Amino acid sequence: MPVKKLKIVVTRKLPTPVELRMMELFDTRLNHDDHAFTHEELVEAVQTADVLVPTVTDRIDSKVLARAGEQLRLIAQFGAGVDNIDVQSAVQRGITVTNTPGVLTDDTADFAMALILAVPRRLHEGSRVMDQGLFDGWTPTWMMGRRLAGKRLGIIGMGRIGQAVARRAKAFGLQIHYHNRKPVSPRTEELLDATYWDSLDQMLARMDIVSINCPHTPATFHLMNARRIDLMKPESYIINTARGEVIDEAALARALKSGKIAGAGLDVFEREPAVNAELIGLPNVLLLPHMGSATIEGRTEMGEKVIINIKTFADGHRPPDRVIPAIL
């Protein structure tokens, strides 16, 4: 008698090789038109699936989980962050949650470094000038930006991605500073020539560029609020490739408009896909549509991790990327 395949519901379109492999291994329902699932569709999915494969765009909260069928035993997130999932409620209901950590470290760090290069050198402003046909020729004092070498980079969140950003930034001659819940190992600090700041406020007041690389948690919501943004130097820049909720966007917009800080590069937003209207059109901010992890290689590897987690779980073993809630 053939073994019954697990019923999998995938909430967004994934790379074709990943979808084909899922179709081979499981009874898979795909999202061919890549629309964002409504609340009702998420409820229907958890009521029928053995395994749900959501992404960061899906809010799997306690209300959704309360209506899950008894057959749902695994939520295999396609993504490293799980702030869209009520992990504690899931685990209390006997549902395992997994994610895909480590895969996108280099891709996201490359993107953060690209913004660190682009914003102080005003690449986006120069591109707009060319697109609008306004380039009248070179002059000595036009479109001047800031040199990177010798500047201080303050990294908020010194995990995998933060350290990868530090390695890249050091190669460009930036001085590495960081704030984290606790210092990294002395060996890592030595390799990165990095200086730890226990006080985020004190670090912000002395940095030329601030890169946000921490996750979104209740403790980091609006970590960069109006008071902290006001601590930054007028010639400083802020880069965010982590989570939009970490910055108070209204306060940031005011600071950019008033010249309190020099510029910003943002790839994530507080209420995606909506972008704060006060940020749109500002000449000193580069806005990008959550592209930091968007490489073919990275997204395919994410899918492979999802499949490994599902296969391991189906075989009766503990998935390698199981997420443990902070408080049970």
Does 145 share its domain with 247?
yes
Contacts 24+ apart (CB under 8 A), 222-225: 222/246, 222/247, 222/248, 223/156, 223/247, 224/156, 224/248, 224/251, 224/252, 225/251
Whether residues 175 and 216 share a domain: the answer is yes
Is 255 in the same domain as 136?
Answer: yes
Residues 264 and 117 in one domain: yes
| Number of structural domains found in the chain | 2
Distance (Å, whole) CA 4 – CA 34: 27
Domain of residue 51: give its range: 7-103+296-314
pLDDT band at 12 (very low <50, low <70, confident <90, very high): very high
Q: Which of 146, 160, 167, 290 is catalytic?
A: 290
Percent of the chain whose predicted confidence (pLDDT) is above 90: 95
What is the mean predicted confidence (pLDDT) over 93-111?
Answer: 96
Q: Which of 96, 7, 104, 12 has its CA nearest to residue 55?
A: 12
Query: What's the alpha-carbon Rg for the chain, to the nearest Å?
Result: 22
User: What distance in Å separates the CA atoms of residue 243 and residue 126, rounded to the nearest whole number?
Assistant: 27
**Which of the residues 243, 245, 249, 301 is marked catalytic?**
243
For residue 87, what is the domain's CATH number? 3.40.50.720
Tell me the per-residue pLDDT of 64-89, one tens digit each, with 9 for 90 and over: 999 999 999 999 999 998 989 999 99
pTM of the model: 0.90
Does one domain contain both 15 and 142?
no
Q: Cα dist. 252→132, 220, 267, 295 in Å?
A: 27, 16, 14, 29
290 is catalytic: yes
As beta bridge partners, residue 155 has: 178, 211
Domain-located, residue 161: yes
